[in-house]
Amino acid sequence: MTHQLDCRGLACPEPVIRCRDLISAQHPAALTVLVDNAAAQENVRRFLERNGYTVATTQQAADRWELQATGSACAASAACQAPQAASRLGRTLVLITTQTLGRGDDTLGEKLMNNFLGSLGELGEGLWRIVLLNGGVKLSATPGSALESLQKLEAAGVEILVCGTCLQFYGLLDARRVGQITNMMDVVTSLALADKVIRP
């Protein structure tokens, strides 16, 4: 039996929460989810894939996506989640909420942010994840040294999460050039799993 969730009209991260709750309660082998924006589509897809499902996405209209998920039904069980949590112990998360670093002069702040991102690689394997919120999402869509540094970090294996609600607010969903679209539930979970959080 295929379960269906109609998440159209729901604000982030409610579509992901609805999926999580259904999976936790019923462990369906097949699931269809309807959403009405690109950020929700990507957030739900990533959540389902992270929990063992194979997902096929169809855009049925400008504001309607259908995600058909099949496969693993172990999502939300302790056996599935424990290895993920254990593998992240000791990892460093960097939370960036602005396009510039510090207060005073924006030109200087932009230069400092470029230098900061260019230096993050020195953390080596300890650098686990970078989360971009509010004005920080502009770094994922603005050509320049900051974007190039983020792309190098991502290529080296650092996870970069970019707030979908923030991208929508700034009209940058299609301009994003690095990272995965994320939601507040992922951000809160990331902060809880991180061993250390750096907020420049």
In 72-193, the DSSP E strands lie at 92-96, 127-132, 159-163, 180-182
Q: What is the pLDDT of residue 72?
A: 58
* Domains, the chain: 2-81 (3.30.110.40), 88-198 (3.40.1260.10)
- Burial pattern 36-70, b for ≥16 Cβ within 10 A else e, equals bbbbbbbbbbbbbeebebebeeeeeeeeebbbbbb
Q: What is the pLDDT of residue 99?
A: 96
Q: What is the pLDDT of residue 33?
A: 96
Could you tell me whether strands 180-182 and 53-61 are parallel, antiparallel, or unpaired per DSSP bridges? Answer: unpaired
Q: What is the pLDDT of residue 38?
A: 87
In 8-145, the DSSP E strands lie at 30-35, 53-61, 64-71, 92-96, 127-132
Q: What is the pLDDT of residue 74?
A: 53
User: Rounded CA gap, 195 and 13, in Å?
Assistant: 24
User: Rounded CA gap, 143 and 165, in Å?
Assistant: 21
CB 150 within 8 A of CB 178: yes
For residue 112, how far is the Cα from the chain centroid? 25
Q: What is the largest CA-CA distance in the chain?
A: 59
Q: What is the pLDDT of residue 153?
A: 96
Enumerate residue ranges in the chain where pLDDT < 50: 73, 75-89
Interacting residues of 167 by C-beta distance below 8 A, sequence separation 6+: 39, 137, 140, 141, 173, 176, 181
Q: What is the pLDDT of residue 36?
A: 93
User: Rounded CA gap, 135 and 200, in Å?
Assistant: 13
